[in-house]
Structure 1
Amino acid sequence: MTYCVGMMLDRGLVFMSDTRTNAGLDNISTFRKMTVWEDPGERCITLMAAGNLATTQAVVSLLDERSKTVQEREPSLMAVPSMFQAAGMVAETLRDVIARHAETGQRADSTFNATLILGGQVKGGPPRLFLIYPEGNFIEASADTPFFQIGETKYGRPILVRAYDPAMRFEDALKLLLVSFDSTLKANLTVGAPFDFHLYQADSLRAGPRDRIEADDPYFQLVSQGWGDALKEALDSLPPFTLDSQT
């Protein structure tokens, strides 16, 4: 399983993904699930993937190859004139890869499925964020839906819903995401550190700060312990429940 989050802020876009993949408790590996393409001054595009590893790696490899050799017959992320068209191209690539695998491999519902988060900015347009489904359709983030999650989403969602603020700083957004990821990995062993992140500054048209946060990172440990302690204190501060003396 996987956990990835893409978030829109007034300042730009924030991306974070875990790196754990597994095919059973005795077969756990680490793979990067975030890819960044940039043409400084022209565009910066980030892709995160959840789902079948063979499918997601095939999609990324195809997109990467096309971005290096721009040809009329092969659409490229480095040539499309807008993020909307980039989302359409990625969606079509994903649909084609899933269909090809399904025709030649074992047949089972959702065996080769994958879901993607695509975000970035192309010169002349605003920063945009998309959620791409395995069927090849996609939706765009908005003020009403300012972030997307893929993979194991349910455990990390409550803190995002409660604490998200479009005006927050990148530093505060990273802290919020680390709490979300910590809540998820504590509830589901198929999600795990290290975590990759990318911060894209709106209108910079170049990759922003990128790094990897390990499980033993001092700040992550501080956030994890502090969040657990804060939850316990908040629970203790609530008024006690009173049982009806008649029952």
Structure 2
Amino acid sequence: MTYCIGLQLDRGLVFMSDTRTNAGVDNFSTAKKMFHWHVPGERMITLMTAGNLATTQALVSLLRERSVTTEDRDPSILHEKTMFQIARLVGATLKEVIAGSAQQGQQSAEQFSASVVVGGQIKGGLPTIFLVYPEGNFIEITHDTPFFQIGETKYGKPILVRAYDAHMTYEDAVKLLLVSFDSTVKSNLSVGLPFDLQIYEKDSFTAGRTIRIEEDDPVYQAISSGWGDALKEAFQHLPSYKV
């Protein structure tokens, strides 16, 4: 399983993904799930994947292969003129990979299922994020839905819903995401460190800040232990229900 979040702020976008993959309760490994395409001054695109590892790796490889020489390859993730067209391209490519895998293996397409979060900004448009489904269709982030999650989403969602603020700083946004990820890690063995983080500032059209957060990161450790202590303290201050 996987856990990835794409978060929209007034000042830009924040992406975070875990790196754990598993093929059983005792067979864990690490694989990158966040990928970037960047044309300085013109576009920045980030893609995160969840689902069948063979499918997601084939998707990323195909998108990269088709963008190597953009003058000869169309459509390309470096050619599309809007983020909407990027989402449509990613959706079509994902659907193509899943269908091809199912035909080759004579198995149901559900076994090769995957989902994608793709976001960024192309010059002339605003920063945005899309959630792409295995069927190739997609939805765009809105004011009412300011973040997308894929993978193991249920454990980390409550803190996002309660604490998200579009005006928050990048530092507070990263703290929020780390609490969400920590809650998920503690509840599900198939999600784990290290975490990949990217911060994209609106209208910068640069790769932004990319960080890998390891298990021994002192800030992560402080947030993890501090959040647990804060929950216990808050619980003690709540009124007891008389029975």
**Higher deviation after alignment, 221-230 or 108-117:** 108-117
Which residue of structure 2 aligns with residue 18 of structure 1? 18
Cα distance, 1:110 vs. partner? 1.8
Q: In the alignment, which residue of structure 2 is the partner of 1:80?
A: 80
Letter in 2 for 1:184: T
Between structure 1 and structure 2, the one with the greater Rg is 1
Residue 238 of structure 1 is matched in structure 2 by 238
Alignment partners' CA distance in 1, 2:8 and 2:241: 39
Unaligned runs of 5+ in 1: none
Per-residue deviation, 1:83: 0.5
Opposite residue 55 of structure 2, the aligned amino acid is T
Alignment match, 1:111: 111
Counterpart-to-counterpart distance in 2, 1:116 and 1:33: 10
Inter-partner Cα distance in structure 1 for 2:73 and 2:204: 30
Deviation digits for residues 104-133 of structure 1, max 9, x if unmatched? 115136210000000000011111110000
Q: CA deviation at 1:26?
A: 2.1
- Change beyond 3 A, Cα 1:61–1:173: same
Task: Name 2:51's counterpart in structure 1.
Answer: 51
SS in 2 for 1:67: coil
Equivalent residue number for residue 156 of structure 1: 156
User: What amino acid does structure 1 have at the position aligned with 2:123?
Assistant: K
SS at match of 1:4: strand
- 1:65 offset after TM fit, Å? 1.2
Task: Provide the C-alpha distance between the structure 2 equivalents of 1:37 and 1:109, rounded to a whole number of angstroms.
Answer: 28
Q: Which position in structure 1 is the counterpart of 2:144? A: 144
Q: Please, what TM-score do these two structures have when normalized by structure 1?
A: 0.96
Give the Å deviation of 1:240.
1.6
Q: Which residue of 1 aligns with 2:68?
A: 68
Secondary structure of the corresponding residue to residue 111 of structure 1: helix
The 2-side partners of 1:152 and 1:55 are apart by 18
Task: Note if 1:28 corresponds to 2:35.
Answer: no
Offset of 1:70 from its aligned partner?
1.1
Q: Give the whole-Å Cα distance in 2 for the aligned partners of 1:109 and 1:202.
A: 37
Pairwise CA RMSD: 1.0
3-state SS of 1:110 partner: helix
What is the CA deviation profile of residues 171-195 of structure 1, one whole-angstrom value per residue up to 9, with x for unaligned ones?
Answer: 1000000000000010000000000
Measure the CA separation in 2 of the matches of 1:71 and 1:2: 35
Q: TM-score, normalised by structure 2?
A: 0.98
**CA distance in structure 1 between the aligned counterparts of 2:126 and 2:72, rounded to whole angstroms:** 25
Q: Partner residue of 2:169?
A: 169
Post-superposition CA distance 1:142-194 (Å, at most 9, x none): 10110000000000000000000000011100000000000001000000000
Q: Which runs of 4+ in 1 moved over 6 A?
A: none
Identity %: 64
* Distance across 2 between alignment mates of 1:96 and 1:11: 35
Residue type matched to 1:211 in 2? I
Size of the aligned set, in residue pairs, is 243
From the superposition, tell whether residues 99 and 66 of structure 1 become closer, same or farther in structure 2 (CA, over 3 Å): same
Distance 1:146 1:239 in 2: 32
1:41 aligns with 2:41: yes
Residue equivalent to 1:190: 190
- Contact 2:67/2:73 (CA < 8 Å) preserved in 1? no
Deviation at 1:241, TM superposition (A): 2.1
